[in-house]
A and B are shown apart, each in its own frame.
Chain A
Amino acid sequence: MDALVLQILNGLDKGGAYALIALGLTLAFGTLGIVNFAHGALFMLGAFCAVSLQRILTISQKVRDESITFFEAYKEVPYLELWLGDTGTKIIEWSVPLSILMAIPIMVLIGIAMERGLIRFFYKRTHAEQILVTFGLAIVLQEIVKSLFGANPIPQSAPEIVSGSANVGAFLGLSDTLVYPYWRLIYFTFAVAVIGGVFAFLQYTTYGMVVRAGMADRDTVGLLGINIQRRFTIVFALAAVVAGLAGVMYTPVVPPDYHMGMDFLVLSFVVVVVGGMGSLPGAVAAGFLLGILESFSSMNEIKQIFPGIDQIIIYLIAVVVILVRPRGLMGRKGVMES
């Protein structure tokens, strides 16, 4: 039982990342009709917002390390610690959660700049051309990050208070030894909150209602005198924020590097296809479903029967879903079918 709970939890935190990225991809596709291969780069840029804030907070003074006597060694002491003492240390420790505040406006600006500056010129082009141009954009963005931050992963820590493990077993009335890292639980909760927020925005606000109407029938909404294009630009920025926040919060789980967007991009497209092109609930459900299946496929009992299944499970599921339900789990009729 403990093993099952652990794999479910593991699948949920992985699935949280897949669902957040796939949600943004589907928003961009559903509103603007654009197949955005630069979406993984937005996830990566979000992660590097956290890295940038940490770099800013840890601007340091070099101080001689007196414990080394046979050559001149220096250690770096952040100015924030020199000026504010323990408070400075705490601020640095909380750099990842603080990065969320910085990432939101930055990702909005990046999203608008990306859509207005490049993507809008390709609305009426074929999907193949959209893929080419957005993939090129992703490469440019990752090379810029590589030149600024280097090629190596840059570890980010969660605040000390949430860096250990929670006794999930005791909470669920199971074994006392069943523990799970706090930050991964936080990541899952955060993913659910963001997804809930996006759905609430689309479902319960007038703005969201117009966007949904535009997604269903863009021309009719335009005929009603509504500037649907401007709203779609905002939705694209929202998709960028969702991807960026997913990236920020993922940094304590896996140290970010310039290539992390590409690593997630292919998986996220598989998630979107499995969920159904243009279907927001489909993207979210498929994200969590594939995360859980990937996690279960890593269990030794499964791998003994199907060696190496953990490496291919996601693609295998995609093949089966496409064969059985070509529109995906919750795909809408007419989307990507012309």
Chain B
Amino acid sequence: MSEHKISRRGVLKAGAATGMALSTPLIFTSQAHAFRNDPGDAKSVKFGFNVPQTGPYSEEGADELRAYKLAVKHINGEGDGGLLNTMKPLSLKGNGVLGKKVEYVTGDTQTKSDAARASAKRMIEKDGVLMVTGGSSSGVAVAVQSLCQEMGTIFMAGLTHSNDTTGKDKRRYGFRHFFNAYMSGAALGPVLEKEYGKDRRAYHLTADYNWGWTQEESIKNTTEGLGWETVNTVRTPLTAVDFSQYITPVLNSGADVLILNHYGKNMINSLTQAVQFGLRDKQVNGKNFEIVVPLFSRLMAQGAGKNIQGILGTTNWNWSLQDAGSQAFVKSFGAEYGFPPSQAAHTCYVQALLYANACEMAGTFNPVNVIKALEGFKFDGMGNGPTEYRAADHQCFKDVLVVRGNENPSSQFDLLKVVQEVPRSQVEYDPAIFGGELGPYEV
């Protein structure tokens, strides 16, 4: 056994040496690895496009990917420049971002939260992406957004319409350009009252996940505010393809309006089957039976064919808009792919540009500075009129379109007719109503 003598001087020396040893690496690493996937002197940076390539929202996913590829072209100064010609204020110079060429990797969310998170994690950890973007489901958006917050990587949400994304599940590193269910309800309410009156009985079929729940809640609040009675709210599995067992009870429920809180292929199947069951030819309570699809897109209208004609809903954007931004985007996208873009393509293209522009504004890829550049950013010329990324919840505020399935289309793509452009002031709300916390800048 040896005897150890511990002196005061020895302890001080050892402590000082340990402190030096521990702090030395931090002096270097705090500069060299200030944020995850810092590109340093590299000539290029990578974006991660995480979209549903399979599953019920794969049509939207395919269009999102087309839009991202086009956005990368335009950011790198190729093609006709698209919305870089109309966006104001614009910091991008058409030479990539901060002089670095933009490259990308893609992933398949499969419209499943766990698959989407795994794909985003791979992109961040293995591919070294600076930003993750995409998705066509709010379940996926909330899951990926939360992962991105943990990993300190910015997430620019694609098509996500649930109030939760920028409500109770909002995150500092997540941003949404797309509108939400609350805004759909606020925009649609007055039109429903004008078209169908105040005395109606509504039956909801709702996709059973967080987007469906919040849309059902928002539309229910709106219609009950008009004086409508809610007969029933029925949840349907996201994976359902045959909705007949859910539609047959509607026939004898006494309802005179069916509200389909479905999106993508869910909506195409449920609407098609509702029409097959004769709902649109039915008279109930002395009124024509009506179907409402609160959120729909041209891709869905294409899938549903003539069944969509005359049906009211809302959309974030439509290719038929006549403003300079919308026309520039439709022209670029149409020239590239031979058909006009969907609303999913539009929101994803805009998100990619907004992120790239914010990096230019911040003069760095450091996400903390990029987040600060995006928060409260006001812009125009992107197809929705004057828009603001509200700092309090990272939700974009802009005009909302109420549309109707076109009964007299002038072309194969002219499937939605804009009934009303509802001004931003009518769909704005207090960010506190949905709760949630953005969380810290530094993670």
**Which positions in A face B, CB cutoff 8 Å?**
2-3, 6-7, 10, 13-14, 65, 67-68, 70-75, 151-153, 155, 163-165, 177-181, 183-184, 253-255, 263, 294-295, 298-300, 303, 310-311
Contacts and interface: CB of A to CB of B under 8 A. Distances in A.
B412 A65 contact: yes
A165 B413 contact: no
Nearest to B253: A300
Contacts of A163: 276
Nearest to B250: A300
Nearest to A296: B245
B334 interface: yes
A307 B343 CA distance: 36
A294 B245 contact: yes
B242 A254 contact: yes
A65 B410 CA distance: 11
23 contacts: A3-B248, A6-B248, A7-B248, A67-B412, A67-B414, A68-B413, A71-B331, A71-B338, A72-B338, A73-B413, A74-B338, A151-B54, A151-B58, A155-B303, A164-B278, A165-B276, A165-B281, A184-B276, A255-B241, A255-B265, A294-B245, A299-B249, A300-B253
A6 B339 CA distance: 42
A179 B281 CA distance: 10
Interface in B193-228: none
B244 interface: yes
A254 B237 CA distance: 15
Nearest to A146: B54
A179 B241 contact: no
B249 A179 contact: no
Given A6-B251, A164-B278, A165-B277, A70 B331 contact: yes
A10 B248 contact: yes
Contacts of B58: 151-152
* Interface magnitude class on chain B: 35 or more
A70 B327 contact: yes
B297 interface: no
B142 to A, nearest CB: 23
Given A68-B411, A75-B412, A2 B251 contact: yes
B429 interface: no
B246 A298 contact: yes
A174 to B, nearest CB: 11
A73 B249 contact: no
A179 B278 contact: yes
Nearest to B272: A155
Given A14-B245, A177-B282, A180-B277, A153 B54 contact: no
B412 A181 contact: no
A303 B237 CA distance: 15
A303 B54 CA distance: 31
B364 to A, nearest CB: 37
A255 B277 contact: no
B53 A3 contact: no
Contacts of A155: 268, 303
A3 B247 CA distance: 11
B335 interface: yes
Contacts, number: 103
Contact of B277 (A152, A179, A295, A310): A179
B24 interface: no
Contacts of B265: 152-153, 255
Given A165-B276, A181-B276, 14 more contacts: A3-B251, A14-B244, A67-B414, A70-B330, A70-B334, A72-B338, A73-B339, A73-B411, A151-B53, A152-B265, A178-B251, A179-B278, A184-B276, A255-B269
B335 A72 contact: yes
Nearest to A303: B234
Given A2-B252, A165-B277, A181-B276, A73 B245 contact: no
Contact of A165 (B237, B278, B338, B410): B278
Nearest to A178: B251
B59 interface: yes
A266 to B, nearest CB: 13
Contacts of A178: 251
Contacts of A72: 334-335, 338
Interface string B307-340: 0000000000000000000010011001100110
B46 to A, nearest CB: 25
A164 B269 contact: no
Interface in B242-294: 242, 244-246, 248-249, 251-253, 265, 268-269, 273, 276-278, 281-282
Contacts of B303: 155
Contacts of B412: 65, 67, 73, 75
A324 to B, nearest CB: 26
B232 interface: yes
A71 B335 contact: yes
A300 B338 contact: no
A298 B242 CA distance: 12
Contact of A164 (B55, B273, B276): B276
B252 A6 contact: yes
A124 to B, nearest CB: 38
A311 B334 CA distance: 43
Interface string B43-86: 00000000001110011000000000000000000000000000
A83 to B, nearest CB: 22
Given A73-B413, A180-B277, A311-B237, A298 B249 contact: yes
Nearest to B276: A181
Contact of B334 (A73, A75, A263): A73
Nearest to B265: A153
Contacts of B53: 151
Contacts of A3: 248-249, 251-252
B232 A300 contact: yes
A6 B253 CA distance: 12
B249 A152 contact: no
Closest 9 CB pairs of A and B: A71-B334, A67-B411, A298-B245, A165-B278, A179-B278, A151-B54, A181-B276, A6-B248, A3-B252
Given A152-B54, A153-B265, A73 B338 contact: yes
Contacts of A295: 245, 248
